[in-house]
Amino acid sequence: MTHQDLKKADDGRVLIFDTTLRDGEQSPGATMSHREKLEIASMLDEMGVDIIEAGFPIASEGDFAAVSEIARNTKNATICGLARANLKDIDRCWEAVKHANSPRIHTFIGTSPLHRAIPNLTQDEMAERIHETVTHARNLCENVQWSPMDATRTEWDFLKRTVEIAIRAGATTINIPDTVGYTAPAESAELIRRLIAEIEGAEDVIFATHCHNDLGMATANSLAAVDGGARQIECTINGLGERAGNTALEEVVMALRVRNDIMPYSTGVDTTKIMAISRRVATVSGFPVQFNKAIVGKNAFAHESGIHQDGMLKNAETFEIMRPADVGLAGTSLPLGKHSGRAALREKLRTLGFDVADNQLNDIFVRFKELADRKKEVFDEDIEALVQAQGAGEETIQLQHLRVVCGTEGPQTADMTLLIDGEQAHTETTGDGPVDAAFNALKALVSHDAKLQLYQVSAVTEGTDAQATVTVRLEEDGRIVTGQSADTDTVVASVRAYVSALNRLLVKRGRTGPGNDTKVISYRDVS
């Protein structure tokens, strides 16, 4: 695989290393279930991503199981696991990835003065640690990636020394992380260029770039690094990642495609699959895509200005540098109605990038019919919201019944029944408005100390019968989870989003599902 990578780089290929399932999932509140990780990995593989960083195997049993199963099931991509610079981490990582068609171990250590102070290592001690751990990883796996964390704030002489040690120890990819989004494009290009020029053995490895977006320059810094000689970009779908996020896969891939005249490099990514995976990652992570987000935002191909609309009608290229179809976006939005059948719904799902199994289609179709009875027209965005709600039946806590009473005279009331581990729990509560009353009912039925950090409502489509998409973010003891749901009833959508967040909190606490006997969230029937 290493020789293949080098050949691709020599041919002008830039390898795409996706870390949505590892670095992306580190976003506070972005926890994905085991099933969701497998689904995203499959989509990444199908779209042509070269390397999938599937997780941090030693972090938990759940992470190990997900990385291991992804490694066994992935057909084309190299499967990579992350490991700190110690033998136990590296052994656990190898156990998780070794069954992949093409496995990779990615090990790292913080090399900047600030990061060296954490393990309290001298430069010589750290150099010895790097040699020992990279050698150990290479004895297990032919494909080894090494990263000097916070490389852009590491002294040049020490960075050069550690990179040379890692190459001599057998690393095949050297990744240069801008861990805190500190660098700038010219500096990013020059650092890679200088490493390649001055490092002994540089011609035998691939240099990679891993940029964070703290100053809003992750994409620019990654592309500049490619100009400097890097041939692997580490990125995530939608730019998901801790703090301000990572380099967005869709941005670098489309930039290399659209501006191939000044950046004559290619990737193996099928760009027509971008919108589908963007929407799915937004759903499973609970992180909605901002409307004006480049490439995948709702407004990325929308034109409201009269001048823009006139230009678009005469020639789309006047205001669009790429076609919507290039990223898998349907050119038209043909609404479905209550008389539409399964075949029409399946075709609509296919055009939106969702390839669903028969049982999934049946579940979506039932909810589609219910929605069609309440709305005159069901638009593409409504269909996407239905897909988003899929899988609620597998959750530990489920909303079974909700009735709210609201109006100008308070207090407002909520009558709620939940299904928790298959048992009914019921209560009636009051509050300052219907949403507050409903949330008070949830707190009464599901005892927890989580604080509501975010409550956000947005309309999916236009009109008074539009579905509302609600995002809820909860925090408990440093654990942050996000839930999202959509419904034509804003209160129902709000409760379902809160319930989704509570179910994710169970996962964060180590609860894996209804079969686990440990009650980590208590509940009571207060009817």
pLDDT digits (tens, 9 = 90+) for 399-424: 999 999 988 887 899 999 999 988 89
Q: How confident is the model at residue 257 (pLDDT cuts 50, 70, 90)?
A: very high
Residue-level pLDDT at 346: 84
Residue 527 has pLDDT above 80, yes or no: no
H-helix or E-strand containing 176? strand 173-178
* Residue whose pair of structure tokens reads 């209550």 in the numeric block: 338
Q: What is the mean pLDDT of the chain?
A: 87
291 pLDDT above the threshold of 70: yes
Beta bridge partners of 235: 18
Please tell me the predicted confidence (pLDDT) of residue 515. 35
- Comparing 14-18, 98-102, 509-513, the range with the smallest average pLDDT is 509-513
pLDDT at 305 over 80: no
Q: Alpha-carbon distance 195 to 405, whole Å?
A: 67
426 is in an annotated binding site: no
Query: Residue 3 — pLDDT band, cuts 50, 70, 90?
Result: low
Label residue 460 by pLDDT band (50, 70, 90).
confident
Per-residue pLDDT at 308 = 47
From 254, 241, 186, select the one nearest 210 (Cα to Cα).
241
pLDDT higher than threshold 80 for residue 13: yes
Structure tokens of 361? 């289609």
CATH no., domain 394-523: 3.30.160.270
Residue 210 annotated in ligand binding: yes
- Whether the upstream peptide bond of residue 514 has omega within 30° of 0, thus cis, is no
pLDDT (mean) for 255-284: 94
Length of the chain as a residue count: 527
Q: Which residue has the tokens 């590491």?
A: 154
Report DSSP state, residue 380. H
pLDDT(510) > 70: no
| Entry pTM | 0.79
Per-domain boundaries in the chain: 2-285, 306-388, 394-523
* Mean pLDDT across 506-519: 51
Fold (CATH) for 2-285: TIM Barrel (3.20.20)
* Confidence class for position 459, pLDDT limits 50, 70, 90: confident
| Beta carbons of 350 and 343 less than 8 angstroms apart | no
